[in-house]
Structure 1
Amino acid sequence: MEALRQKIEDILAADTGCWGMVVTNHATGARLELNPEMVFPAASMIKVPIMYEIMRQTAAGKLSLDETLVVTSGYRTGGAGILKELRPDITMTVRELVTLMIIVSDNIATNMLIDLAGMDQVNRTMTGLGLKSTVLRRRMMDFDAARAGNENETSAADLARLFAHLLSSTGLPPAYGALMLDILKRQQIRDKLPYFLPEETVIAHKTGTLPGVEHDAGILFLPGGPYIISVLTGGLTANVQGLQLVANIGKTIYHHLCFREE
């Protein structure tokens, strides 16, 4: 992937901030890495490990995706999502909460699922999957905890590894891997990796945003097979810088893989 590496390095040369990136051909193992182990604030990327843990516990018979939970006023918080706009004490299934957590990055749904799965259990499972830098330390929108040093963290290498596990349904019955990919393919936040791609392009992905931070990672499905892409950015002077950077990287990767040989 040296030709692709040069194209991406040319894009990065005109940029400031910091970044970590992994692009992997899932079938052949061919891999491009730039600062893969650099640790970043996870932002909403941490929602993918939470989803995996919910599915793992469901497969083990500890949870049911059809179980219903009440969205009480105690869970109301700001940021992304739609549950904050709906009537108080609405009832949702676990499956619906997982879907909202991923496709619109709903923070209320996320905090409910953190309590359901258990923060420590999410971390133990991620460690067991070989993720070295991914840790869930706080709920969504708990900026006091973040300022106190309890920030959620991850790396491009960890996210690439986790998406490979999802694609292979590692440690889970295949139906659960397929369900997670189906939810990720319905992602409605498409302002980064898929921004410049043809509408029919299939990508199962999750984005993350914090002040000075823009991330996107997932699986790009192409006729030649799936590619796992993880792009994390930080130290941005303005978030639009990260949006444009990740979108241009997504376009460059797509055109290189579709129209050029590796």
Structure 2
Amino acid sequence: MLALICGSAIACNPSTTLEDEVQSIISEYPDATVAVAVRDASTQTTLDILSDRSFHAASTMKVPVMIEVWKRIQTGRLDLDSTLEIQNSFRSIVDGSQYSIEEDTDDAIYERLGEYMTISELVYQMITVSSNLATNLLIDFLGAESIQVTVDSLNAPGMRVLRGVEDLKAFDLGLSNSTTARALATLMELISQGRAVDETSDSRMVDVLLDQEFNEMIPAGLTEGTRVAHKTGQITRIHHDAAIIYPPDAPPYVLVVLIEGLDDENGSAALGASITRKVHAALRSGV
């Protein structure tokens, strides 16, 4: 569903044009299930395509983990300079049995096993290089239940944080973290507006999101000079990106693309970039 109120900053097309054009792009990938959510407060534009359909969250669930950290800092229950010991041993939510992280995009953290890292360092690694080990350490410390309470308080119930990464016993039983495009769009919009925690905390979260190192989807569909504060998520046949997009000399907007069903990660990245290109042209033509 698309709601569009045209302002002077964008070209005004019939209200269904953007949705139709995005759907046309999606139709070129018949094996893919795709959800899209757009939130543009400056023009009161919203776009929702399968935005309430639940997907495996992959690493997008690291956004609410970060929000919970900053909520505790803001309320004085945690300090960014507090430290956690780096260890690779976790307990399954199914039966309490131990497991360890076997696959990760962050090699450097494993060189520090037995040492201590600050909360600030762990959050940065969790977001920018999607460190699974940093994520599990933070979830163990914060508690998945507390993270979920915070998510629910932000009116994003489509995001479900049950556990840490690589709990294979839970995965086999269908106990996985999940999200909807609507939930991620809600969280990213709140961060962009300084309403997830507070203006100072949310600004710090944006700074971390801007340093994201995996830029093959939403950033790839944008014009040069456009800053993107975003979090990706990728596992087998799952490829997501949730972004706050900052065009030069224009207000920011939120775009979420969730993709399931494609084996080729280059293909899913290209699909997400094509959707981004179409949305950006509609919302910020000439920017």
TM-score, normalized by length of structure 1?
Answer: 0.93
Aligned to 2:46: 31
Which sits farther off after the overlay, 13-22 or 176-185?
13-22
8 Å Cα contact 1:19/1:35 also seen in 2: yes
* 2:86 alignment partner, one of 71, 96, 99: 71
Distance 1:126 1:73, change over 3 A: closer
Instruction: Report the secondary structure of 2:219's partner residue.
Output: coil
Is 1:54 the counterpart of 2:80? The answer is: no
Aligned to 2:7: none
Distance 1:85 1:71, change over 3 A: closer
Tell me which structure has the larger Cα radius of gyration.
Answer: 2
In 1, Cα distance between the equivalents of 2:39 and 2:88? Answer: 43
Displacement of 1:142: 1.7
Higher share in helix: 1
**CA deviation string 1:153-181 (max 9, x = no partner):** 00000000011111122252311010001
> Which one-letter code corresponds to 1:144 in the other structure?
K
Percent identity (aligned): 30
Aligned to 1:124: 149
Displacement of 1:3: 2.8
In 2, Cα distance between the equivalents of 1:82 and 1:182? Answer: 23
Aligned to 1:98: 123
**CA deviation string 1:205-242 (max 9, x = no partner):** 00000111100011111232111001101122433331
**CA deviation string 1:118-175 (max 9, x = no partner):** 1100111111111122111121122221111111000000000011111122252311
In 1, Cα distance between the equivalents of 2:86 and 2:108? Answer: 8
In 1, Cα distance between the equivalents of 2:196 and 2:280? Answer: 30
Instruction: Report the secondary structure of 2:252's partner residue.
Output: strand
* 1:139 alignment partner, one of 164, 167, 170: 164
Displacement of 1:83: 3.9
Distance 1:82 1:198, change over 3 A: farther
Aligned to 1:242: 268
Is 1:168 the counterpart of 2:193? The answer is: yes
8 Å Cα contact 2:196/2:202 also seen in 1: no
Aligned to 1:210: 235
Q: Which runs of no fewer than 5 residues in structure 2 stay unpaired?
A: 5-15, 91-99
**CA deviation string 1:53-96 (max 9, x = no partner):** 11101111111111122212436522222345424223211011
In 1, Cα distance between the equivalents of 2:88 and 2:223? Answer: 41
Q: Which runs of no fewer than 5 residues in structure 1 stay unpaired?
A: none
In 2, Cα distance between the equivalents of 1:166 and 1:215? Answer: 18
Which sits farther off after the overlay, 75-84 or 170-179?
75-84
Displacement of 1:23: 1.0
TM-score, normalized by length of structure 2?
Answer: 0.85
Which sits farther off after the overlay, 205-214 or 86-95?
86-95
Displacement of 1:24: 1.5
Is 1:45 the counterpart of 2:60? The answer is: yes
Instruction: Report the secondary structure of 1:163's partner residue.
Output: helix
Off by >6 Å, runs of 4+ in structure 1:
none
